[in-house]
Amino acid sequence: MKSKMMNKLSEWLTDEASALEREMEASQERAADEDEAALTPAEIRWAQEEKEEEERIARRLNEWTDETGTKISRTLYSILCLVICLTLIVLLLYTVTELPSFGSPDHPINNEVSARYIEKGLQETGAVNIVTGMILDYRAFDTLGESSVLFTAAMVVLFLLRKDKESHKYSPLAKVMHDNPHSDTYYEPKNDIILQKTAFVLVPIVLLTGVYVVLNGHLSPGGGFSGGAIMGAGLILYVIAFGFAKMRRFFTYKTYQFVVLIALLTYACSKCYSFFTGANHIPSVIPLGTPGAILSSGLILVLNICVGFVVTCTMYCFYAVFRKGEL
Amino acid sequence: MQLLVNYEETAAIILFCIGFSTMMLHKNLIKKIIGMDMMDAAIFLFLASQGYIEGRKAPIVAGGVQSVEAYINPIPAGLVLTGIVVSVSVTALMLALAVRLYYRYHTLNLDEIIALAGKEEV
């Protein structure tokens, strides 16, 4: 009994609602009919013409801004650039005339800081090369930051350019790779005999030069960064001559990650040790050695080798990622 | 003429302005990056020239001589080293971004890229 009543109630309610909707629709239609009826055909035509005129004006304005506007803004931009450049060059050249003479010893930059580095650097760091002693001992934290910047840049480049399963759909280079999986690269010569014979002779020499520059960083001009760049050039020459398949036998993405992370960790840990001992006035157990010997200057040799590894791997990583999209 | 006495600084300034105008006036992204690199090189030249002292040697202790009068200033050399490493990283990053933009818009012209990107937003 109760359910029957509920049914009837709901039916009545929905009926009411739909009746209301019907009423509203009908009234709207009536209103629209009345509007159209009120306008004479001439008025309608006039309204349409007005509309078309407006559209034409808007279109012409758009075209004008598209063509003339961009032309004007481009010219303005060029003129503004030239003005800024000329102002900059005049201002900076005026500043140069105010600078102390080139090569004069009484330049204010030659103050007690550089005097301290030159007079005490050898005793305090053990490095004959004062610049190396400065960047890897006094300012070693800064150099750790530099190596991390290189590592971060390599990671971001890898993140931007790395080839994946979908990439051949949107990148032409990856499509070439995808369509010809056996071609090392599409554009470069493969198995070039002159290149291979030259690389066979040159790669060991280049790598040995790099090792020499890294290991002599505290004795002669050079160090981790320059030596690492030379060794990276050696690896790049090897991969150009012999291809990625041979390179992957000893250098893959995992090798890269492992070597760079171990190098950065070694750097950070050894510097933590010297910061800890230095801040607490504990004598360091690492001997500075005789100046001028290969095994001297304490931690600087280790740090140079770490930086050299990071730079070598990063240079090769840049090349491989830009050329092929993977290591 | 102080400009001719400070000839290395003058050359650095001119190189910097050439790089700056290259970066501002060219539409090609690669040329913009080249301009940026020229500005970097100009700054390194300027810094290195600041440390030079007439008639002195590079700061590598030889023969136990450790007087300030014997060597040039080592600090600008260290600063330039830092700068070169950062400049290499920044260049690699910019080139990677240019490659990605080329993959997406098939052009290196910055104006066209901006126009295409504007159409995409609508």
Three-state SS annotation for A290-314: CCCCCCCCCCHHHHHHHHHHHHHHH
Q: Quick one: closest CA in B to A92, which residue?
A: B13
Those residues whose C-beta lies under 8 Å from the C-beta of residue B31, and which sit 6 or more positions away, are: B22
The pLDDT, as a whole number, for residue B89 is 93
**Do residues A85 and A141 both lie within one domain?**
no
**Do residues A45 and A143 both lie within one domain?**
no
Domain that holds residue A226: 128-324
**Do residues A84 and A183 both lie within one domain?**
no
DSSP A138: I
- Looking at CATH, the fold of the domain delimited by B2-58+67-121 is given as Helix Hairpins (1.10.287)
Please list every residue in chain B whose beta carbon sits closer than 8 Å to the beta carbon of residue A115: 68
A99 in reach of chain B (CB within 8 A): yes
Mean pLDDT by 10 residues, chain A (327 residues): 60 61 66 62 85 88 79 87 90 88 82 85 83 86 88 89 72 65 58 88 94 89 89 92 84 89 91 84 77 78 90 91 79
What residue has token string 């309608």? Answer: A44
**Do residues A60 and A197 both lie within one domain?**
no
Inform me whether the pLDDT recorded for B7 exceeds 80.
Answer: yes
Has residue A187 been placed in a domain?
A: yes
The pLDDT, as a whole number, for residue A311 is 92
Q: How many CA atoms lie within 13 A of B73 on its CB side?
A: 25
Between A and B, how many CB-CB pairs are < 8 A? 160
- Tell me if residue A217 falls in helix, strand or coil: coil
B30 in reach of chain A (CB within 8 A): no
Above pLDDT 70, what percent of chain B? 99
Distances (CA, A) of A154 to A23, A132, A161, A230, B75: 70, 25, 11, 17, 28
Q: Please report the residues numbered 16 through 75 in chain A whose beta carbons come closer than 8 angstroms to any beta carbon of chain B.
A: none
Q: Nearest CA of chain B to the CA of A101: how many Å?
A: 6
- Tell me if residue A252 falls in helix, strand or coil: coil
Q: ipTM of this predicted complex?
A: 0.86
Contact A129 B3 (CB under 8 A): no
Q: Please report the residues numbered 42 through 81 in chain B whose beta carbons come closer than 8 angstroms to any beta carbon of chain A.
A: 49-56, 58-62, 66-71, 73-78, 81
Residues A134 and A223: beta-carbon distance below 8 Å: no
**Do residues A65 and A155 both lie within one domain?**
no
Q: Quick one: closest CA in B to A217, which residue?
A: B60
Residue B17 has its nearest CB partner, among A85, A134, A156, at: A85
Burial of A159 (0-12, 13-18, 19+ CB in 10 A): exposed
The pLDDT, as a whole number, for residue A31 is 60
Residues A101 and A273: beta-carbon distance below 8 Å: no
- Tell me if residue A165 falls in helix, strand or coil: coil
Residue ranges per structural domain of chain B: 2-58+67-121
Has residue A142 been placed in a domain?
A: yes
Q: Please report the residues numbered 258 through 297 in chain A whose beta carbons come closer than 8 angstroms to any beta carbon of chain B.
A: 291
Rounded CA separation B103/A244 (Å): 23
Has residue A315 been placed in a domain?
A: yes
What is the distance in angstroms between the CA of the first residue and the CA of the last residue of chain B? 58
Write b or e for each residue in B83-94: b if 16 or more Cβ atoms lie within 10 A of its Cβ, otherwise e.
bbbbbbbbbbbb
Residues A153 and A314: beta-carbon distance below 8 Å: yes
Average pLDDT rounded to a whole number, residues B14-28: 91
Rounded CA separation A10/A3 (Å): 11
Write b or e for each residue in B46-55: b if 16 or more Cβ atoms lie within 10 A of its Cβ, otherwise e.
bbbbbbebee
- Helices A112-125 and B75-105 cross at an angle (nearest 10°) of 90
Residues A162 and A169: beta-carbon distance below 8 Å: no
B120 in reach of chain A (CB within 8 A): no
The pLDDT, as a whole number, for residue A316 is 92
Residue A97 has its nearest CB partner, among B2, B14, B77, at: B2
Number of domains in chain A: 2
Last residue of a domain, one of A51, A82, A98: A98
Residues A163 and A324: beta-carbon distance below 8 Å: yes
pLDDT digits (tens, 9 = 90+) for B61-115: 877 777 878 888 888 888 898 899 999 999 999 999 998 888 888 888 888 888 8
Angle at B78 between CA B47 and CA B3, to 5 degrees: 15
Angle at A87 between CA A83 and CA A88, to 5 degrees: 115
Has residue A110 been placed in a domain?
A: no
pLDDT digits (tens, 9 = 90+) for A236-281: 999 888 888 888 888 888 888 899 999 999 999 988 888 888 888 8
Has residue A115 been placed in a domain?
A: no
Rounded CA separation A21/B88 (Å): 71
The pLDDT, as a whole number, for residue A108 is 82
**Do residues A61 and A184 both lie within one domain?**
no
pLDDT digits (tens, 9 = 90+) for A220-233: 888 888 999 999 99
Residues A125 and A138: beta-carbon distance below 8 Å: yes
Q: Nearest CA of chain A to the CA of B41: how many Å?
A: 16
Has residue A40 been placed in a domain?
A: yes
Strand partners, B53: A103
Residue A114 has its nearest CB partner, among B66, B74, B89, at: B74
